[in-house]
Amino acid sequence: MVNSAVTPIITYAMCTLKLPFGVLDNIDRAWKQRLWRGNDTYRKGGNLAAWPMVSANDKWTMIWGSAYSSSKFYKTVFQSVDAHPIFKWVWKSRVKFFAWLVLVDRLNTPSMLKRRHLLGEDEVACVMCTAGPEEDIDHLFFQCPFAQQCWQKINVTWNNMQSLPTRVAVARSQSNTGFFMEVVLIAAWEIWKMRNRKIFDNDRINLMSWFVNFKAQCRL
């Protein structure tokens, strides 16, 4: 207990007071002797680090080759990460950041805001329907009656019993459309925008308005 109380006082004094050079030299000499006490690599009970081993010339070799690039570094670090292919499918989308937020469940739905302690239990109901369930990603884009009407409008069906990546992968494999992912992402993006207009601008939820905006985005 005495040691734990006295040691911080000494450390504080050394950090705040200007110590004489002689004291600093003695501290430095004691520190070096503690580390480099002897040159014998196999000596026991003395040195903490043998001088010949520490002073040996190190040779560094970059595992990504002679030239560095951020892409090579990224591949080296994440080459063992087993990611779902859906993340590659959304990479070229115009709304890829929105798609990424949805896939990793980081979109600011009331459910997410509640997990961050920004909303209470009575503030997480879905504003798109009258059923009053908690609005999370699965409900907003798949379970909500308005979202289901939107998917029916563009002839996209989902198996809501599956996980989100599997659900999208199965629907994509069953689709004959080469731009299936872009259609799905734009549709979800327009659902999210309509939901935000309902909250912030008190706009009316309207299927035809959503469809007009969806077609306009697809033409861009």
The answer to the question of residue 191 being in a domain is yes
Number of domains in the chain: 2
Highest mean pLDDT among 11-15, 58-62, 134-138: 134-138
Report if residue 115 sits inside a domain.
yes
pTM of the predicted model over 0.85: no
Residues 111 and 208 in one domain: yes
Alpha-carbon gap, residue 172 to 151, rounded angstroms: 14
| Same domain as 108, residue 42 | no
Q: Would residue 27 count as lying in a domain?
A: yes
pLDDT, averaged across the chain: 83
149 residue type, one letter = Q
More confident residue, 16 or 159: 159
134 forms bridges with which residues in the sheet?
A: 125
- Per-residue confidence (pLDDT) for residue 176, from 0 to 100: 82
The answer as to whether 59 is a domain residue is no
pLDDT digit string (tens) for 147-197? 999 999 999 999 999 999 999 999 999 988 888 999 999 999 999 999 999
Residue 149 CA to residue 206 CA, distance in Å, equals: 10
- Provide the residue range defining the domain that includes 189: 86-219
How is 18-48 classified by DSSP, letter by letter? ---HHHHHHHHHHHHHHH-S-S-TT--SS-S
Same domain, 50 and 115: no
- Among 194, 195, 145, 141, which residue's Cα sits nearest to residue 171? 141
- Give the residue from 34, 54, 74 where a domain finishes: 54
Strand partners, 125: 134
Q: How far apart are CA 173 and CA 188, in angstroms?
A: 19
**Residue 133 domain-assigned (yes or no):** yes
Q: Give yes or no: residues 173 and 118 share one domain.
A: yes
Distance between CA atoms of 143 and 167, rounded to whole angstroms?
A: 13
Q: Is residue 84 pLDDT above 70, yes or no? A: yes
Confidence of residue 68 (pLDDT cuts 50, 70, 90): confident
pLDDT one-digit tens code per residue, 136-150: 999 999 999 999 999
> For residues 32 and 55, is the Cβ–Cβ distance under 8 A?
no
